[in-house]
Structure 1
Amino acid sequence: MKHFYLIVNKEKENAEKGAEVISEYLNSHGCECLRWDSENPGSSEYRYTDRKQVPQETECVIVLGGDGTLIQAARDLAGRDLPLFGVNMGHLGYLTQISREEDIVPALKELMADHYRLEKRMMLEGRVVSEGATVAQDIALNDIILSRTGLYTLKFDLYVNGELFNQYSADGMIVATPTGSTAYNLSAGGPIAAPESSMIIMTPICPHTLNSRSIVISPESRIMMKVSGREEVEQFLSFDGDTVVELRKGDRIEVERSEITTTLIQLKQVSFLENIRCKMRQI
């Protein structure tokens, strides 16, 4: 690899210092390392990067932040098929590859020498249909979540491939990818899935029944949730905790596998189980 692009979450401690180390090292070793200036006029719609500013010849996007920064970068660059390499400046960092300053230069050497593997991660596509028209549509690397504010319980019907699966009274529903299985899904009692696998995980949030459990279905399945219940309930749909769409009674939520994938660069030959075990110790 010779052409690199930096995405930096300035809110993370030492992220700027790490960016300087990376940029100086790569540029001094015959590589091109560019960075988007988030203070440029007209760039307010993006949190960390502007996809139009990333050159076509870019071979690797290095993301300095945490899992949230990497997920946002994947959303911003969706469809560009650019490999992402995460440098953890956050807490757990399930998606990032390195988390110590002393590991940065050795990792850059591996990238420059093409000693890595690419891992494809599935994404979800969701849309909100209101009165027969699609009013919102987005993608997610981690999860698409039906939730609410206030104290009222949500009521909704869940369909899989056109067949009614269950009627829920709950605080919401998490529809997660394997990548998102270690996020909110895990906190809500859902299963952990190998990140490179293909499946859709549905986990109800605080269901008001004794028999509601997570469901794991084929990645080719089509999910539909129909919002019912009371008009005064404030409910919404979120995509990776970023895009938020307000919902009304009668709205329909459709979720399926996206044709777009996220590509992550992997350097370490660490098994999925070992990685989970190490991360769990940090909680």
Structure 2
Amino acid sequence: MDRFYVISNSMKDPEGKIAKKIKAYLNFRGKQCIIQERQGKESLRSYKYTNANLIPDDTECILVVGGDGTLLQAARDMIERNIPLLGVNKGTLGYLAEVDGDNMEEALDRLIDDNVVIEDRMMLEGCAYSHKKKLLQDFALNDIVIARSGRLQIIDFNIYVNGEFLRSYSADGIIISTPTGSTGYSLSAGGPIVSPEASLILLTPIAPHTLNTRSIVLPADAEITVELLHGHTAGWDEAAASFDGDTCVKLGIGDCIRIYRSSRMTRLIKINNISFLEVLRNKMNDQ
């Protein structure tokens, strides 16, 4: 690889030291590297670190400095570009961003020599509807979460799979995740850990009002519909569907969201010659 682009999370790399270090080393090796300029007012809740329009067409690799959240945002923003992403971890727990300061130059050398593996990760696509009117259509690498919004009251909803009724829930919400997302919110809600190489969709309820709290594993080609109900709680506020914790759409009684495997993929660069099981073991030992 010869042409690189760096996206840096200013909350994790406030002075851009890591981004500048990457650029300096790649330039030293005779390679082209551009650091995306920071724009606008930055905040923890609303700032976008990625602007796909600024990235040259001949870019061969995008290095994302931050944590898994920054990499997720970049994956969604870059979905039309099909450029491989490499995460440089400056967060607290990186399952996706595997490069850190200790192996930075080694990782860059391997990128330059094309001594890497590029993994295609499945993504989800969701369409939210209100009275058959489309509200929002978006993508997620990790998960799409339908959860309560407003007062601390449970919501009631039906789950359909390929048009067939599966079951009803009274819960704080439900997480529909990819294998990549199994180590995210789904894991915190009690869902299983799945190898990112698997091809499936996970359904994990959030604090369900039932003794049955288990996740449901579905084939990757399943289409899931979540329909919000009146339920037994009078006057509940709106729910919301969020895509990788970023884009969000409000939903009311009778609204629904269809979720299915996207035809688009995220291309993640794997530097380390270690298995998912070894990464998992190391992360679990750190807790």
Give the deviation of 1:10 after TM superposition.
0.9
Give the deviation of 1:141 after TM superposition.
0.5
The answer (yes or no) to whether the contact 1:198–1:219 under 8 Å persists in 2 is yes
The answer (yes or no) to whether the contact 2:19–2:35 under 8 Å persists in 1 is no
The answer (yes or no) to whether the contact 2:87–2:98 under 8 Å persists in 1 is yes
Question: Which residue does 2:98 correspond to in 1?
Answer: 97
Question: Which residue does 1:79 correspond to in 2?
Answer: 80
Write out per-residue CA displacement over residues 39-70 of structure 1, whole angstroms, 9 at most, x where no aligned residue.
279xxx96112111111111100010000000
**Matches of 2:82 and 2:198, distance apart in 1:** 19
Question: Which residue does 1:205 correspond to in 2?
Answer: 206
2:265 to 261, 268, 272: 261
**Matches of 1:148 and 1:204, distance apart in 2:** 12
Q: Does 1:58 align with 2:29?
A: no
The answer (yes or no) to whether the contact 1:46–1:76 under 8 Å persists in 2 is no
User: What residue identity is the alignment partner of 2:268?
Assistant: L
User: What residue identity is the alignment partner of 1:110?
Assistant: R
Write out per-residue CA displacement over residues 184-236 of structure 1, whole angstroms, 9 at most, x where no aligned residue.
10011101100122110000011111124200000100000110124532311
Question: Which residue does 1:125 correspond to in 2?
Answer: 125
SS in 2 for 1:193: coil
The answer (yes or no) to whether the contact 1:15–1:89 under 8 Å persists in 2 is no
- Percent of paired sites with the same residue: 47
**Matches of 1:46 and 1:77, distance apart in 2:** 16
**Matches of 2:260 and 2:270, distance apart in 1:** 26
Give 5+ residue unaligned stretches, structure 2: none
**Matches of 2:219 and 2:250, distance apart in 1:** 28
> Structure 1 residue runs of 4+, over 3 Å off?
none
Q: Which moved more, 1:197-206 or 1:207-216?
A: 207-216
Give 5+ residue unaligned stretches, structure 1: none
Question: Which residue does 1:250 correspond to in 2?
Answer: 254
Two-structure CA RMSD over aligned residues (Å): 1.5
Write out per-residue CA displacement over residues 18-43 of structure 1, whole angstroms, 9 at most, x where no aligned residue.
111110111122111012212279xx
TM, length-normalised to structure 2: 0.94
Q: 1:158–1:15: structure 2 CA closer, same or farther, 3 Å change rule?
A: farther
**Matches of 2:129 and 2:98, distance apart in 1:** 38
Give the deviation of 1:92 after TM superposition.
1.1
Question: Which residue does 2:136 correspond to in 1?
Answer: 136
Write out per-residue CA displacement over residues 134-193 of structure 1, whole angstroms, 9 at most, x where no aligned residue.
111110000000101322111000000010000111110000000100011001110110
SS in 1 for 2:57: coil
Give the deviation of 1:17 after TM superposition.
1.3
Q: 1:113–1:15: structure 2 CA closer, same or farther, 3 Å change rule?
A: farther
Q: Does 1:7 align with 2:7?
A: yes
Number of matched pairs:
279
**Matches of 1:217 and 1:15, distance apart in 2:** 44
